[in-house]
Amino acid sequence: MASTVTTEPSENSPAPSRPGYGQLLRTRGAWTFLLPGFAARQPFAMLTLSIVLLVQHTTGSYGAAGAAAAVTGVSMALFAPCTGRLADRYGQRAVLLPGVLVHALSGLAFTALALAHAPLWALFVAAVPTGASVPQVGPMVRARWGVRLQGSPLMTTAAAFESVTDEFTFVVGPLLATALCTTVDPAAGLVTEASLTLLGGLLFAAQKSTQPQVAAGGHARVKHESALRIPGVRVLIVAFLGIGSVFGGMQVSLAAFTESIGEPGLNGVLYGTFAAGNMISGIACGAIAWKGAPRQRLVVGYAALALVASGLWTAHSVPLLAGLGLLVGMCIAPALITGYTLVEGLVPAGARTEAFTWLTGAVALGQAAAVTLAGQLEDRFWTGAGFLVPMGGTLLALATVLALRAHLVARPRGITVARGVGHRVPVTVD
C-alpha cells in the first residue's frame, strides 16, 4: 500500500486554494449532524457562568462561586478524554445517551443544593458528576467532519466553521445565562442548561448514519495508541490551557466589574462582545488561503493573544473593556482553529475524537483554574485584579509553545504499526 507523507508547506509555497463555506455546507449529510450538534453544544457556554452567578447569589462570594465552577471544569477536563476514547472505541451514540441523562440530573441536583444554601462541600460533590458528564459534542462534530472530509482541503475550512459555531454559542450562551439569572431567577440559567443539554444531546445521538465507524472486533488484539502519547498533542494541550485561562479569567472578572459599577446586566454584553470578536475572526480565518504552515500561524497568533490579554487588567471603563475584549476574542480564534487543524496531521484517525477532547478538556481545565484564581484575586484585592490571570496564563503557554514548537510537525501517514498478542501483526494506522 502506498503511503502518503504530509509535510508542512514552505514559506515560499504558492497560496493554496481554499474552498468556501458554501462548498463545505453542501457536503453530503453535513446538516444531519450540524443542526442537532449546535443545539447540543449551546448549553456548554452557559454552564460555568450559570454556576458562578447562582453560587455568588446564594453565598455572596465570588471565591466560592469560582471554586464551585472550577470543580465542574476540572471534572470535565479529567473525564472528557475518557469520553473521547470510549466514543472512538464504542461509538458516539453509546457514550452520549447515558452522558446527557447523568448531566441533566446532576445539574438539577446542584441547583437544588445551591438554592437550599447547602455547605460548599456539598456543592463540590454535586459539581463533580455535573462536569464529568458534560457531553463532548464539539469534538464529536469535528470527528464527523474528519470522516466526511478526510484528505480534503476543506478540513481547515471545517475547523474554522466549528470555531465560529463554538464562538457563536459563546455569544448567545452568556447573554442567555445572564438574562435568565438576573431577570428571571438565579437558578434559571442552570435549569435551562440542563434541559437544552438533554434535548440537544438526544437529537444528536439519534444521527447514527454520520458518526465515525467503529472497527468490528479486534479490540483484544489491537492496542489503540492514546492521543496523549503524541508530543505535539501535549504541546497543544498547554496552548489550550492558556486559552482556557482567558475564558475563565474574563468570566469572573467581567462579572465582578459590572457588579462593582452597579450594572450586572452588562456582564453578558461585555462577554458577548469578547465572543463576537472570536466569531468574526473565525469567519475570516476560514475564508483565507494561508501561505504559512499551521505551526507558524499558531506561534504568531498566540503571541498576539498573549500581548492583547496582557492589557486587560489596565482597563477601568466599559468602553475600554469592550474594545480590549473584542481584540482578545479576535486573537483567540486563529489559535483555536490552527490547533484543531494541526490535530489532523498529528493524530491517526482512530484517536482524533480523543485528541479533540483532550484539547476541549484543556480549555475547561484552564478555565477552572482561572475562575478559582480570578475569584480569589477579586475577593482579596482590587476590582479587576482577576484580569491578571489571562495575562499570566497566555504568557506561560506562549513560552511553552515557542520552546516545543518542533513537535507540531505533521506525522507521516500510512505507517504500519506492529501490535499484537504473541506475535507482531501489522495494523495500518489511518
pTM, 2 dp: 0.66
Write out the three cell numbers for 73.
471544569
| 75 occurs within a structural domain | yes
| 85 occurs within a structural domain | yes
Q: In angstroms, rounded to a whole number, what is the distance separating the alpha carbons of residues 81 and 227?
A: 9
For the cut 80, the answer to whether the pLDDT of residue 124 exceeds it is: yes
Write out the three cell numbers for 22.
458554501
| 158 occurs within a structural domain | yes
| 22 occurs within a structural domain | no
SS3 369: helix
Note the pLDDT tens digit of each residue in 281-318.
Answer: 777 776 666 666 667 778 888 888 888 888 877 777 77
For the cut 50, the answer to whether the pLDDT of residue 428 exceeds it is: no
Determine whether 342 is exposed, middle or buried from the number of CB atoms within 10 Å of its CB (0-12, 13-18, 19+).
buried
Note the pLDDT tens digit of each residue in 320-348.
Answer: 888 888 888 888 888 887 887 787 777 66
Containing domain of residue 75, as a range?
30-212+232-407
Query: What does pLDDT average to over the chain?
Result: 76
Give the pLDDT confidence score for residue 108 in this predicted structure.
93
Q: Report, as an integer, the average pLDDT of 7-25.
A: 55
Could you tell me the CATH number of the domain that includes residue 133?
A: 1.20.1250.20
Under DSSP, the state recorded for 417 is: E
Our count of domains for the chain comes to 1
Give the pLDDT confidence score for residue 292 in this predicted structure.
65
Note the pLDDT tens digit of each residue in 39-85.
Answer: 777 767 788 888 988 998 898 887 788 788 878 878 887 887 788 77
| 418 occurs within a structural domain | no
Least confident of 78-82, 129-133, 242-246, 404-408: 404-408
Give the pLDDT confidence score for residue 411 in this predicted structure.
60
Give the pLDDT confidence score for residue 7 in this predicted structure.
39
| 4 occurs within a structural domain | no
